Amino acid sequence: MEGSGLDGSGQSVAVIDAFASPTIAADVNEYSSRHGLPGLKPGQFSEVVAPGTFNHKESSTKDPQGWYGEETLDVEAVHTMAPGAKIVYVGAANSGQDLDAALNHVVDRQLARIVTNSYGFSSEFLPPGFIKPYNDTLVQAAAEGIGVYFSSGDDGDEIANLGVASVDWPASSPWVTAVGGTSLGVSESNGYVGETGWGTLNAPLAGNAWGTPVFQYGGGGGTSRLFAEPSYQQGVVGNDLATRWGTPGRVVPDVAMVGDPNTGMLVGQTQTFSTGAAYDEYRIGGTSLSSPLFAGMMALADQAAGAPHGFANPALYGTSAGAFRDIAGNPLSAALVRVDYVNGENAAAGTRTTLRTLNDTGTIKVRPGYDDVTGRGTPNGAGFFNALK
């Protein structure tokens, strides 16, 4: 992190996704060269993949190309935040239960002390057979001093999808550090302008007027129906949030980083276009960005402390408020007008103009102190590292 004297050296971060991009190392190095980052040194990046992981057809319903983009985002986000850290990419052979097996492999072999995951279920309404075995792995990770970080989800309170509010799983596990999303304002000189909770309404331009705005996406959050309030949240999380469903429960997220795709991060990837394959850079976001960014921050925090934090939630909740930017105290009042290619590549099929408003987060709300959109807030630079030493 610029100005901190920290780069993640001596630390290791595992990234878990499905499939494996055949161009990831070259893409990270090209991206780094274009943006003033050191390239990957020999031995700094490694892959753990099952046989056949690279060999999936484009027509696969499991969307390997989409997962290539996810992998690119995750790896480049970690490397950007902690360019000296080792990265172990663990690619599941599919986007189903093999993801569970991938995390279990990381924990069983202790491949890294920090693990970032940008996937999950859109609710906790799952059979116990889905929940308990995975949670057992998370308990084992905590016992072994491994910190597991999960995106909190990209659909806000999930009401638009489910008709009822729900947190995402596995982000709701009390043994996970759940990372929510913000919309981030940055000045032309790279200064911090402010943040809001990430929640976007989308209104299309129809003639000379904006159409009816509808919820598009936003950082996940809320109160668990399955897990009791963990001790580390007691006294920090408001009682009204913890008791949303009656008995005090686990509230999500724990922390946040930029997630809004409209204010997200530029990534570089070799993609297949109508004109052929080429390296290209594009803007992306989601809490799929927030989690690896925060994992990179924890690599710096571990370096600063001289020891791994492992399961970090007790430390994150035990720090002073100055370790975090309270998002309610750093308001960003803005909206965006976007003009996008209809086909996602060029203007051949025309363009689409939309108005994107910020901080429309539904039943979960940003407020002073802990909230169920951004948790304790976003790391406050050197104050964050000093608080965790």
375 vs 66, which has greater pLDDT? 375
Domain that holds residue 87: 12-185+219-330+370-388
> Is 308:147 a contact under the CB 8 Å cutoff?
yes
More confident residue, 379 or 359: 379
Q: What is the pLDDT of residues 42-92, one digit of tens each?
A: 999 999 986 556 555 544 556 777 899 999 999 999 999 999 999 999 998
In a domain, 5, yes or no: no
Does 201 fall in a domain?
Answer: no
* 31: in domain: yes
Q: Are 119 and 99 in contact (CB under 8 A)?
A: yes
Q: Does residue 80 sit within a domain?
A: yes
Per-residue model confidence as pLDDT tens digits over 326-340? 998 666 677 889 999
Asked whether residue 360 is domain-assigned, the answer is no
Q: Which two tokens stand for residue 214?
A: 């509808």
Within a domain: 124 = yes
- On whether the CB atoms of residues 389 and 333 are closer than 8 A, the answer is no
> Rounded to 5, what percent of the chain is helix, strand, coil?
30, 30, 40
Looking at residue 30, its pLDDT comes to: 98
β-pairing verdict for 255-258 and 265-273: unpaired
Contact 298, 149 (CB under 8 A): yes
| 293 inside domain | yes
CATH of the domain at 178: 3.40.50.200
Domain count, the chain: 1
Residue 271 binned pLDDT confidence (cut-offs 50, 70, 90) = very high
Task: Please tell me the predicted confidence (pLDDT) of residue 272.
Answer: 87
Measured distance CA(127)–CA(359) in Å, rounded: 33
Cβ atoms of 73 and 284 closer than 8 Å? yes
Tokens of 368: 């002073």
Angle between helices 24-34 and 64-81 (to 10 degrees): 40
Residue 49: the pLDDT is 85
Q: What is the Cα–Cα distance from 78 to 58, expressed in whole angstroms?
A: 27
Condensed to tens digits (0 to 9), the pLDDT of residues 143-170 reads 999 999 999 999 999 999 999 999 999 9
91-121 per-position pLDDT tens digit: 988 888 889 999 999 999 999 999 999 999 9
Q: Does residue 89 lie within any of the structural domains?
A: yes
Task: Name, in order, each residue with C-beta under 8 angstroms of 236's C-beta and a sequence gap of 6 or more.
Answer: 317, 369, 370, 376
Indicate if the pLDDT at residue 296 is higher than 90.
yes
pLDDT at 388: 96
For residue 64, the model assigns a pLDDT of: 77
pLDDT at 303 over 90: yes
